[in-house]
Amino acid sequence: MTLSPSSTSGRPIALIGFGEAGQAFARGWHGEFQGLNIRAFDIKTGDSDATRAKWNDYADAGIAGCETLGEALEGAGVVFSLVTPDQAFAAAQEAAGLLQPDALFFDGNSCAPGTKRAAQEDVETAGARYVDMAVMAPVHPKLHKVPLLVSGPHVQAALPVLTALGMQARLVPGAVGRASSIKMMRSVMVKGLEALALECILSARKAGVDQEILASLAVSFPGFDWPAKMAYDFERTTTHGLRRAAEMREVAKTVQELGLMNPMSQAIVQWQQAMGDLDLPQNDSNLGKPDLGLRADAILDALGQLNTNEEKDD
């Protein structure tokens, strides 16, 4: 399909950050449309250890990679910020002085509403239009068609652009922060279930009773495939734990901003950070899908090795 240049003001589309979400969006657009001018900049482009891999990512997605943020944003009418949550505000600050007047700035990062509002101030002071965008599901397999929520004063201008790009966005009435509030509160449950699964099954496997625990859960929650769900959760936390921990810090900040205690969110941060720090490979085997037993054993082995090294250091 050929996308009408008028749908995006005939100007380039820029991606700030080219990790899982950025690559998914770009690949989705590349597969559906012809003639889109898409550029991307990722902070790892300048990292000597990752430079070659990141340039390969740009080429694989069929877009133009840029050496600087300024190069990516030059002339861009539509900008998507898709960095890690801990870098989202800094990315907005840096981009603000480089954005074109009236450019739409879609902040799709998993951040607290307060963080989004601070970013909005910088972006709109520079003359661009800030849109709070929340990505509400894993980007695979739907790629650019993953469900989105958008809020803020510029959503009426933003929705036609997202629709023209084949994206599935729903308007959340209200100010910047409304869409992100939904994302943040949902993450307490989604990432919390992952943390509970880790603590439950790792402990059970180490005690030699994991099969009994899974059988008991199957009785208590009939029709729910616990082994498959937990295998998926274990893979996600070990593959994306660092990013998830950064998101949960923003969740904890959100809960605190609401005047509530946040020990659950803080505990989820600890589990996600610990799993990300292990730096385990993504695949458990050649089975083509996560394997709960293999992944649990790999985690326990890595944690055991970590504890051994810490004892030696002491």
pLDDT in tens, 92-110: 999 999 999 999 999 999 9
In the chain, count of helices (H) and strands (E)?
Answer: 11, 8
**Do residue 210 and residue 252 come from a single domain?**
yes
Question: Within this chain, do residues 168 and 253 fall inside the same structural domain, yes or no?
Answer: no
**H-run or E-run covering 299:** helix 292-313
Q: Is the dihedral of CA 126, 123, 168, 26 positive or negative?
A: positive
**Enclosing domain of residue 106:** 5-176
- Helical (H) or strand (E) element with 147: strand 147-151
Tens of pLDDT, residue by residue over 266-313, are 999 999 999 999 999 876 554 457 889 999 999 999 999 877 776 666
Average pLDDT of the residues in 176-199: 97
- 152 and 267 in a single domain? The answer is no
Percent of the chain predicted with pLDDT > 70? 91
Separation CA 198–CA 213 (nearest Å): 13
* Residues 237 and 223 sit within 8 Å (Cβ to Cβ): no
Identify the CA nearest to 238 among candidates 307, 183, 285, 302. Answer: 302
Q: Which of 110, 144, 176 is the last residue of a domain?
A: 176
Which of 144, 176, 208 terminates a domain? The answer is 176
Say if residue 160's pLDDT is above 80. yes
